[in-house]
Chains A and B, each alone.
Chain A
């Protein structure tokens, strides 16, 4: 849905741009292609890697390990799973809801959702291309640690522990 909005927006902007200045529009498209081509090899690699990881870590395996009683160990485990997998939001949220219904704890799901969004182990090669190795590692580590704060607060506020 949201990608349709992006397409419509971009098409409108392109039309306005073309109407105002053909040469500049052409240059914009050229730049767009150049930066896309630059990052394409990393994209392809990352996407295949995600496919491999998701085929290994499926929903049943995950829900077995992160039950309500799993405590901080479960939180750590869900944070790690969230960090290494890259599931699109419209799959992740229903999956998280399903895991909750199957006995996963709020704190564990909080950690999972948080690292899933903020930490990207498999996308790190792409990130490194732009930000370098050191900053990429630091950003991911900090986000990983921060996810425990998020998990704790969600556990307290939503799970009532």
Chain B
């Protein structure tokens, strides 16, 4: 029963996929092909991310993370969050489990959000790819606008949530 509840959302998408297939075969086949392709991507990206997480959780002491990215880390913490997020590979959903471990380790909330922002837009492998397909001007302009943008968004978000909500999110991360 709990298993059914846990997979409710996935089952729903399978039902939609089946309906799409029955309505329009061609579209259904295309959807299945894209899904298969995404699964392949997920399988190639996700295992190392989670193993890295496990290692990080076990080996890096909370004090170390707090020192470099915690409440009092200042500019150093911001820069480190951007670098860590940018060095990553894989789609955005890979960033959330890492963010959870960061919270467990006492990383400042604004830095967690900056990390998510950096992961979403300034990833170095993606940047190189963007450079070659859309041109230097496009890629560099976007990068230069995005870096202040993700810091700004992070601070706006921080000012919009209250202490209790942040604490709840941290407690939730503890249980993930």
Which residues of A are at the interface with B, using a C-beta cutoff of 8 A? 1-3, 5-7, 9-10, 13-14, 17, 24-25, 27-33, 35-36, 38-39, 41-52, 54-56, 58, 86, 88-90, 93-94, 96-97, 100, 106, 109-110, 113-114, 117-118, 120, 123, 125-127, 129-132, 134-135, 138-139, 142-143, 146, 149-150, 153-154, 157-158
Q: How far is the CB of B139 from chain A (nearest CB, A)?
A: 9
Residue of B at shortest CB range from A135? Answer: B161
C-alpha spacing A48/B165, complex, angstroms: 31
Determine if B145 and A150 form an interchain contact, defined as CB atoms under 8 angstroms apart. yes
Partner of A50, one of B34, B135, B157: B34
11 A-B pairs whose Cβ atoms sit less than 8 Å apart in the complex: A14-B55, A17-B58, A32-B53, A33-B54, A44-B13, A47-B42, A89-B126, A97-B133, A118-B117, A123-B92, A158-B137
Ordered nearest first, which 7 A-B pairs have the shortest CB separation? Answer: A51-B35, A32-B54, A28-B54, A55-B31, A2-B89, A48-B13, A55-B30
Q: How far is the CB of A42 from chain B (nearest CB, A)?
A: 7
Q: Within 8 Å CB of B176, what residues of A?
A: 35, 38-39, 129-130
Partner of B93, one of A10, A90, A93, A123: A123
Chain B interface residue bracket vs A: 35 or more
B45 within 8 A of A: yes
Partner of B96, one of A56, A94, A130, A149: A130
Which residues of B are at the interface with A, using a C-beta cutoff of 8 A? 6-10, 12-14, 16-17, 20, 27-28, 30-36, 38-39, 41-42, 44-55, 57-59, 89-93, 96-97, 99-100, 113, 116-117, 120-121, 123, 125-126, 129-130, 132-135, 137-138, 141-142, 145-146, 149, 152-153, 156-157, 160-161, 165, 168-169, 172-173, 176
Q: Within 8 Å CB of B8, what residues of A?
A: 41
Determine if B134 and A149 form an interchain contact, defined as CB atoms under 8 angstroms apart. no
Q: Within 8 Å CB of B7, what residues of A?
A: 41, 44
Q: Within 8 Å CB of A1, what residues of B?
A: 125
Given A44-B10, A123-B92, A123-B93, A13:B149 Cβ within 8 A:
no
Q: Within 8 Å CB of B138, what residues of A?
A: 106, 110, 154, 158
Q: Within 8 Å CB of A41, what residues of B?
A: 6-10
Determine if A43 and B42 form an interchain contact, defined as CB atoms under 8 angstroms apart. yes
Greatest chain B CB density within 10 A among A88, A96, A106, A130 is at A130
